Amino acid sequence: MPENRYPAVPGQSRQPRRGQEHFAAPLDEGGLGAVDAVDTREKPSSLWRDAWLAMRVNPLFWVAGAIILVVVTVAAFPQLFTSLDPRLSCSLANAYGPPQAGHIFGFDHQGCDIYTRVIYGARASVIVGVLSTALVVVFGTLVGAIAGYFGGLFDTLLSRLTDIFFAVPLVLAAIVIMSLAPSRTTVTVALVLAAFGWTQIARITRGSVLSVKNNEFVTAARSLGMGKAGILVKHVLPNSAAPIIVYATVALGTFIVAEATLSFLGIGLPPSVVSWGGDISQYQRAIRVQPEIILYPAAGLALTVLGFIMMGDVVRDALDPKARKR
């Protein structure tokens, strides 16, 4: 019979034919080690790390960050930018006075320094915006997470409650409530805005939780015996946070505009509290005599809102993998 009639079985050695030579390259020359090599020194990639890498090369991120940093610094430390008190340094002799040394924006109808009022007006707007956003994020996320994760009766009741509040316009509801409020402070305005502004983030959280709760890592945690509350807090919410952060960034600017609207209508913050909306309302009486004075608080309000909206767009694009590929 001819030699090597049957093919060799995989895994078994086979003797080469007489006079035939075989060559096997060493493993280090085959390139497999270089292909399979893994650099353990590099940090593992994650959604937040990729988002930061995408944001830091975006010029809008630095522009929006600079605007927000300036506004927050002015609101927290107004004494660094002016030595005057917006309520005690007024003189009717300076009413509608032109700009001069130390008073670069001039004076308003009560002889108050406009620059000082613009600086101190940032504090009320930022406090109301940040406090309203924090309350909305906490309550809206709680409602949306419970409705989306537990489902059933919870989802039905909380979704119908969200629809009821969603049908009420935010500014209209705030006008009605603030007209009945016994006191008007920054906390009162923030509570009223948060009471009717949580519906959108509740819907966003519910949809995000619904898309995450059936993933493999949630099933693995459930199979290991982790409770529903633990899975929701440790696994579902952290992986649903991206759209919540994006909305919170944009909503902060929205609440600042809402506070300015209420103050402009005279039912927001009282005149004793310096705010951009209140100054715009007061300065509109001089729009034909000295129209430029209304531009200063309006410019501060517009730049602040623009900064937060641009930051929200940058964060949204960075946290959306599809947007990074486009």
Q: Which of 291, 310, 269, 322 is nearest to 121 (CA)?
A: 269
* 8 Å CB contact between 201 and 136: yes
Q: Which of 258, 265, 307, 237 is nearest to 70 (CA)?
A: 307
* The pLDDT of residue 119: 93
Q: DSSP letters of 5-56?
A: -SPPPTTS--PPPTT-------GGGTTHHHHH---TTSPPP-HHHHHHHHHT
* 8 Å CB contact between 126 and 256: yes
* The pLDDT of residue 19: 56
* 8 Å CB contact between 168 and 256: no
Domains along the chain?
47-325 (1.10.3720.10)
Question: Is 243 buried (19+), middle (13-18) or exposed (0-12) by CB count in 10 A?
Answer: middle
Longest dimension (CA), the chain: 125
Q: How many CA atoms within 13 Å lie on the side-chain side of 218?
A: 19
Average pLDDT by consecutive 10-residue portion of the chain (326 residues)? 51 54 55 54 68 87 94 93 84 84 86 91 92 94 92 89 90 90 89 92 92 86 85 88 89 91 89 89 84 90 93 86 54
Cα torsion at 23, 28, 29, 34 (round to 10°)?
140
In single-letter form, the type of residue at position 198 comes to: W
* The pLDDT of residue 16: 52
* The pLDDT of residue 1: 47
